[in-house]
Chains A and B, each alone.
Chain A
Amino acid sequence: MSVIERLRMPRAGRPAQNPRTALDGTGRELPALAVRAALGVLLIGLALIHVHDAFGWIAIAAALSAVLSPWPALAWVAMASLALAELAEPARAAAWHPYAMLAGLVLAHTLAARVAVTPIRAHVAWRVFARPLAVAAAVAVPAEALLALALWLRSAPHATWLPAVAIGAIALLALAALLFARLLRRG
């Protein structure tokens, strides 16, 4: 289309600058970009714990891709890598990193779930995170206790792999039972 024809075009529905005016009633907000950046920092920080093995590097690559690309679902690839990276470490109840990893995974999932459904230019109200973070904390605290028990059993001199697996299986069964009981009650 020639320049002259373009000049003659009436309103053509092209995007243009928007006069920014305040929107009342949203409460305090933070940019979605900041939430995405926080997710990236968190995942990379967790991955640095295992930077000496392949799972750590996979987690770093996936975290960077999740934050910088339009595929935030890659954050869960990073989380899976981080969980599996614990296999390369010896189980020690006194070590800090398994507990940090568990808390970090819960927090990363909470952030990634919101990042995955939020446009990058959006503004997110602080209050959106209040309930999810409370639920995440409520889930993470008993899980940390269970983790401490599992690590203690695993690192004890007389321990074999059977009681540890039994704990995991029992926990999974308990979770499944709770879920099904709830679903059955709903009908």
Chain B
Amino acid sequence: MSLPESAPTQPPPRWRLGVAQVGAVIVGLVAAVGGIVSGRADVVVMGLPLLALAAWAWDRRPHAAAPQGQQPAPAAEGALLAPLEVEVTADAAALEATLGYRVRMTTPPGVEAVQLRVLELGIRPRTHVLPAHPDRPIDVRGRVPAPHSGPQRIVIVDWRLIGTGAAVVADVSEPRPVDRVIDPAFDPIGALPLPHRLTGLTGAHDSSRPGDGGDFHDLAPFRPGDRLRRIDWKATARLARDPGELYVRRTQAQADATVFLVLDTGDDLGTDVETWARFDPAGSGPTSLDIARSAASAIAAGFVRVGDRVGFADLGRPGRMVPPGAGTRHLDRVLRTIAATGPVGAFHASRRPPLVTNGAAVFMLSTFLDDRAATAAVRLAAAGHRVIGIDVLPSPDTTHLSSERRLAHRLVLMQRASRLARLRAGGVELLAWGAEREAPGRDADLMALARPRRARPAAAR
């Protein structure tokens, strides 16, 4: 399956006189004049083929599209040409971690070849010079590895038309990018760390207040309003001191949780630390945003599955927010928003924490390599929210680093370690989320975080 990327008809290209045409005419004239001046017809004949080739190429240069019944006008510089049709498509979904693309191009008469430049994943170009014919469209296909989730630039295509005999050459076209959003792979989490305070009168979680729930809360004297079926006759027989004194068995009320996912999109750092300073989607390995998208999707799906409300906020783009909601349709919206989240740059990330519903648990997904996400997390914790910092920095590979960079990397990690310690001191619980889809250690840490507060051990990390 493929999707059309743009309107097929291109604006007419601008043509320029090629150096071959000028060179052929000059060489031909030099030989002819030299031969005539020196009385050497053989030298004159040496120049004739080049003049003939120049004349032939000029005669067959691309021409402007003409109305029906009229002769087409020659394409002078900047003149209109017959429309060039270009179609660039890419597959809608990844197949075996690759995405296919197709470039189909119909050229006007008078075009001898097309110089097609393809930048796969938006990096180093590959250029192909292909023969052109008005009746045989150029049709090439390729496959691009899709190593990351999120918004990806699959391919950028531009081209240049070469007229017959290279007498005229068109300007390079506007680049045509093809973008796709690739969904992250995830498994919904099973152990759900809940907020300090549950809200609502129904839900899947036992709240701390008594009500119509499942788990036992306590035994209490019967009061008007209690249901008769809640009278615990055994407890009444054991505990009642006066005739008519009844005891009821109270259960914990059910409530739902509100969870807010806050994604720090300030940076997108790969496993290979060497690629942190440059754009290398092919060699970077799993990046922090890949992990963050998977983690956010897993958390959102885990909570929505049991009926809780999930909201989403992008720390890098304060306006990009999904308010809390529940249900499958809302989950789809949240997952689509997460999948479409891309890096904005460390210097654009917002320091101000997003507006979070009262009593919500906040999952702050960040590399914590700068103070922005850490400050926001501490502020949210200080406001009374349960804040769980999800550390999405991938395990670093420093084998390709120079000694200076290795030292710089160590300094950055030392700063980060002290920042994480400040986070713990500020009441933020931490959980490391690696690139692996299934991690027993992570599941154990999640279960520890999901336990009631009195039974919870120290933070996972």
Contact = CB atoms under 8 A, between A and B. Distances in A.
A106 B49 CA distance: 7
B166 A172 contact: no
Contacts of B115: 117-119, 122
Interface in B12-44: 18-20, 22-24, 26-27, 30-32, 34-36, 38-44
Contact of A179 (B59, B144, B145): B59
Interface string A149-187: 011011000000111111111011001001100110011
A168 B34 contact: no
A120 to B, nearest CB: 9
B199 to A, nearest CB: 37
A85 B23 CA distance: 17
Given A125-B128, A128-B131, A143-B49, A151 B42 contact: yes
Interface string A2-23: 1110111111111111111111
A68 to B, nearest CB: 17
A102 to B, nearest CB: 6
B346 A9 contact: yes
Interface in B114-134: 115, 118, 120-121, 123-124, 126-131
Contacts of A136: 49, 53
B280 A10 contact: no
A4 B53 CA distance: 60
Interface residues of B, number: 89
A128 B130 contact: yes
B43 A87 contact: yes
A187 B124 CA distance: 45
Contact of A117 (B56, B130, B169): B169
Interface in B70-84: 71, 74
Contacts of A127: 131
Nearest to B35: A168
Contacts of A119: 115, 127
B65 to A, nearest CB: 15
A91 B51 contact: no
A24 B31 CA distance: 44
Contacts of A84: 30-31, 34, 43
**Which of A26, A130, A136, A186 counts the most B-chain CB atoms under 10 A from its CB?**
A26
A122 B121 CA distance: 18
Interface string B239-283: 000000000000000000000000000111000010111111111
Given A7-B408, A182-B59, A186-B74, A171 B131 contact: no
A32 interface: yes
B26 A113 contact: no
Nearest to A153: B41
Contacts of B444: none
A24 B141 contact: yes
Contact of A8 (B34, B112, B118, B369): B369
A14 B284 CA distance: 13
Contacts of A139: 49, 52-53, 56
Given A14-B279, A83-B34, A164-B39, A146 B346 contact: no
B126 A168 contact: no
Contacts of B59: 179, 182-183, 186
**Which of B18, B39, B112, B275 counts the most A-chain CB atoms under 10 A from its CB?**
B39
Contacts of B19: 72-73, 76, 116
Given A7-B277, A175-B51, A83 B129 contact: no
B29 to A, nearest CB: 9
Contacts of B346: 8-10
Contacts of A167: 41, 44-45
A86 B23 contact: no
A128 B267 contact: no
Contacts of A44: none
A179 B51 CA distance: 10
A78 B301 CA distance: 71
A56 interface: no
B139 interface: yes
B424 interface: no
B71 to A, nearest CB: 5
Given A18-B126, A25-B139, A168 B32 contact: yes
B343 interface: yes
Given A4-B408, A10-B343, A175-B55, 20 more contacts: A7-B409, A8-B276, A14-B280, A16-B281, A18-B123, A29-B128, A80-B31, A83-B46, A86-B42, A91-B42, A110-B53, A116-B18, A117-B162, A123-B128, A123-B129, A135-B165, A139-B53, A146-B48, A168-B36, A186-B74
A-B pairs, top 9 by smallest CB distance, nearest first, are A161-B39, A168-B44, A76-B23, A113-B20, A164-B41, A16-B280, A14-B278, A122-B127, A150-B41
Interface of A: 2-4, 6-27, 29, 32, 72-73, 75-76, 79-80, 83-84, 86-87, 91, 98, 101-102, 105-106, 109-110, 112-114, 116-119, 121-125, 127-128, 130-132, 135-136, 139-140, 143, 146-147, 150-151, 153-154, 161-169, 171-172, 175, 178-179, 182-183, 186-187
Interface of B: 18-20, 22-24, 26-27, 30-32, 34-36, 38-53, 55-56, 59, 71, 74, 98, 112-113, 115, 118, 120-121, 123-124, 126-131, 138-145, 160, 162, 165-166, 169, 266-268, 273, 275-283, 343-346, 369-370, 404-405, 407-409, 411-412
